[in-house]
Amino acid sequence: MSQFELKDEQNHPRPDVPEFTQMIEKQVSRRRFLGGTAALGAAAFFSVSPLSRAIAAATSSPLLGFSAVPTSTADTLVVPPGYTAERLISWGDPLFSGVAEFIDGGKNTATDQLKQFGDNNDGMSFFSLDEETAILVVNNEYCNYELMFEHQGQKMSTQDVAKAQAAQGVSVLTLKNGPQGWQVEKDGRYNRRVHANTPMAISGPAKGHPLLHTQADPNGERVLGTFNNCANGMTPWGTYLTCEENVHGYFGSQQSAHITPAQARYGIGTEDAGWQWHLFDDRFDVAKNPNESNRFGWVVEIDPQDPTSTPIKRTALGRFKHENAELVIDKSGHVVVYLGDDERGEHIYRFVSHNKFDPNNNEANKNILDEGTLYVARFNSASGGELSGTGEWLPLILGEHGITPESGFNSQAEVLIHARLAATQVGATTMDRPEWVAAHPTEPIVFCTLTNNKNRGVLDNQAINGPNPRANNHYGQIIRWQPSHGHHTDDTFNWDLFLLAGNPTVHQDIYAGSENINADNMFNSPDGIGFDNAGRLWIQTDGKYSNQGDFAGQGNNQMLCADPTTGEVRRFLTGPIACEITGLAFTPDNKTLFVGVQHPGEDLAGSHFPFGGNHTPRSSVMMITKEDGGIIGS
Ligand code: FEO
Ligand code: CA
Ligand code: CA
C-alpha cells in the first residue's frame, strides 16, 4: 500500500460497533471453544467434499523442520538457527557500468535511477535458465519521498517526479551462481529497467476502446509505463506478470474536473495521494487527460529473456487494484489466473482462458491471456455462523446477469475497464482487502489473504459476512477454497477460513484469532503468500508494527510458514524497523529463498537497514540459505 494510505490507516481511531462485535463473539466463541469437534481441520479439507468444518486446528507438522523465531523490534532481519540471510540487492544499486552508486540522503538523480535497482521491491519471480544463470524479475512498487529526496518531498520539481517515475515499475536482474551463491551480474545480458515511461502495448478486448483514447494515443493501443507494481505472477511459457495496484493516487488536478461514478469507484479524483505527479506531468492531470487513468490498473506481461521486448497490458484480466496474478494450468489445459483487488470491500476474481496451454508450442501460448472469461467470486455463508460455505464464480460477460446497456455497459471492453462496477452488478461478495492468492502446487485448493478492513461492519456496503466475520477487522484472515469437482475451471467451490489472525494475549473473543493462532506465532495483516513446491504455505505480513495495544507482542513485520494440512503456523523470520516483508521466490531446488524487505524506516522511523550506521534505509532483496545446504523450511 502507499505510504499515504498507510498513514490514513494509522491515524484513524477505530469506531466502536458493539452490536457487530457481540453477534460475532457469540458465533465464534462457540466455535473457538468447541475444541475437538470444531477441529476436524485441514486434513479433512483435502479429503472431504463438501467441506464439513472451518478453521484448522494445529497439530505438529512434518513439513515444518525449523525452530520458530520470536517476535522482534530490532533493526535487522532474523532467521532461524541454521539459516543465513544475505543481501542480494538494494534500492539504488546500479545495474550497469558507468551508473552512479547509491548516495545516502536522496542525492541521486533521475538519470541515475533509470539504471539503478528500483525502490520498494515487492513481488518477484525466479526464472531458471541453467545451473549457473537465472533471471530474477522484481516489482518496484512505490517510493518514500522522505527518504528519496533531500527535501523529503516538500519541494518537488519536474526532475524529482521523473526520479519517482524511474524508481517504480520492474527491475530485471541477471543472476549468476558461483562460490558465493547467487549474485546479481552488473551489465548482465537480461538486465533491464521497466518504469513509468517505458512504451507498452495494450491488448485484449479493451484495446482501442474510446475510454483508452488520449491525445498522445488517439487509438488506445500504446501507453507509457507501469507504476505501483505490487505483486506478480509467472507463466509456464516464460513470462512475468506485474500487477498495477494503487494507481489512482498518482492522478489529480488543480482545476475542477468532471469525475464520473466509475472514476470515483476507482479512487480517481482531483486530489492525488500526495505524489504530485500531476503538478509536473500533464499526463497525470485528470482535467487535461481524463482517460489516462483508464490505462492503468492492469496486469502487464513481460518477456524477461528479451530486454528489447514491449511489455503488454492484458485487458482480458480486468482493471482494478491488482495485487498478484496466481496462474495455474488446470487439468483441462485451460490457463486459470486468480486475482485479488486490494481495497476494502472489493472482490476476488478468476480468469479462465478460452484456449488451452500447449506445453510444446510457446508461440501458441504467447497471447493466450487475451481471450477468455473474467469471473468474480460470490461466497455463500453456511447457516449457524459457520466460517465455511459454498461459493460460485460469476462471469462478467456483456448481456449476462444484468450486465447490459441499461446498467451502464455498452461493450465487453467497458465491462473489463470497469470490472468493479460489473462485479457489483452480478452480486460479488465484498471482501476484507484481497491481497495475494496462492494455489497449492499439486492439490486443487487455493488460498487468499484478506489483510484487514477497518470499514467492515462500519460502512453500509460492508456488513459482516461469512468469510469476513469481524467488524473493525484489523488483524486479517486467510480464506481458502476448493473447486467442487477438482478443476480450477469449476464454477462452484467450497470455502473455509484457514486462519483468523488475532492477538490471544489481548483478546479472549474472535479477535484472539482462530485455534491455530497462539502467543508464539501471532501476527497481523497477512499479505504476501505463496507455496513452495513441497506444499509449504509461506505467509508475509504488512501490518501494524507498533507492538502496542491490539498489536502488543507482535513486533516488526514477519514471514511465517504454515502446513496447509495440519494448520500449524510457525514464524520463520522477522524484519527490520518499519518494514513490510513482501515478495518471495524460490530456486527450483528450494534451497535458496529470495525475500523482499520493503521500505525499512518509512516515515523516518529510525531504521538504517541494511547497512547500519547512519546510512539511509533501503528496500532490499535478501537471499536465505540453510547452512547445511538443505531445503528451506525443512
Ligand atoms: Fe501492494 Fe495490496 O499490497
Ligand atoms: Ca499490503
Ligand atoms: Ca501487498
In 3D, which of 575, 566, 616, 615 has the Cα closest to residue 595? 575
Percentage of the chain exceeding pLDDT 90: 89
pTM for the model: 0.93
Ligand 1, CB cutoff 6 Å, lining residues:
1, 141, 230, 245, 323, 342, 435, 527
Three-state DSSP at 119 gives: coil
> How far away, in angstroms, is 266 Cα from ligand 3 center?
18
Q: What is the mean pLDDT of the chain?
A: 92
- Residue with cell string 480450477: 488
Out of 54-68, 240-254, 507-521, 605-619, which region has the weakest mean confidence (pLDDT)?
A: 54-68
Cis peptide before 610 (omega within 30 of 0): yes
Q: What is the pLDDT of residues 121-131, one digit of tens each?
A: 999 999 999 99
Q: Which ligand is nearest to the CA of 2?
A: 1
Q: What is the pLDDT of residues 456-486, one digit of tens each?
A: 999 999 999 999 999 999 999 999 999 999 9
> How far away, in angstroms, is 1 Cα from ligand 3 center?
7
d(CA 141, CA 217): 25
Q: For ligand 1, what atom is nearest to the CA of residue 451?
A: 2
Percentage of the chain exceeding pLDDT 70: 91
The cell for 540 is 508475509
- Quick count: other Cβ atoms within 10 Å of Cβ 414? 22
Helix residue spans in 458-570 (DSSP H): none
Compare 269 and 37 and report the one with higher pLDDT: 269
d(CA 631, CA 164): 38
> How far away, in angstroms, is 320 Cα from ligand 3 center?
14
Q: For ligand 1, what atom is nearest to the CA of residue 435?
A: 2
d(CA 142, CA 244): 11
The pLDDT of residue 58 is: 56
Whether the pLDDT of residue 19 is over 80: the answer is no
Q: Which domains does the chain show, CATH number per domain?
A: 18-88+117-148+162-214+222-245+297-626 (2.120.10.30)
Compare 9 and 201 and report the one with higher pLDDT: 201
Query: Closest Cα to atom 3, ligand 1: which residue?
Result: 1
Give me the mean pLDDT over the 195-222 stretch: 98
d(CA 537, CA 360): 30
Three-state DSSP at 264 gives: helix
The pLDDT of residue 120 is: 98
Confidence of residue 384 (pLDDT cuts 50, 70, 90): confident
Whether the pLDDT of residue 31 is over 50: the answer is no
Whether the pLDDT of residue 214 is over 50: the answer is yes
Whether the pLDDT of residue 41 is over 70: the answer is no
> How far away, in angstroms, is 554 Cα from ligand 3 center?
19
Confidence of residue 86 (pLDDT cuts 50, 70, 90): very high
Whether the pLDDT of residue 279 is over 90: the answer is yes
Q: Which ligand is nearest to the CA of 321?
A: 1
Give me the mean pLDDT over the 55-72 stretch: 83
Q: For ligand 1, what atom is nearest to the CA of residue 542?
A: 3
The pLDDT of residue 61 is: 85
CB 60 within 8 A of CB 566: yes
Q: What is the pLDDT of residues 403-439, one digit of tens each?
A: 999 999 999 999 999 999 999 999 999 999 999 999 9
> How far away, in angstroms, is 449 Cα from ligand 1 center?
11
The pLDDT of residue 383 is: 79
Confidence of residue 21 (pLDDT cuts 50, 70, 90): very low
Q: Which ligand is nearest to the CA of 434?
A: 1
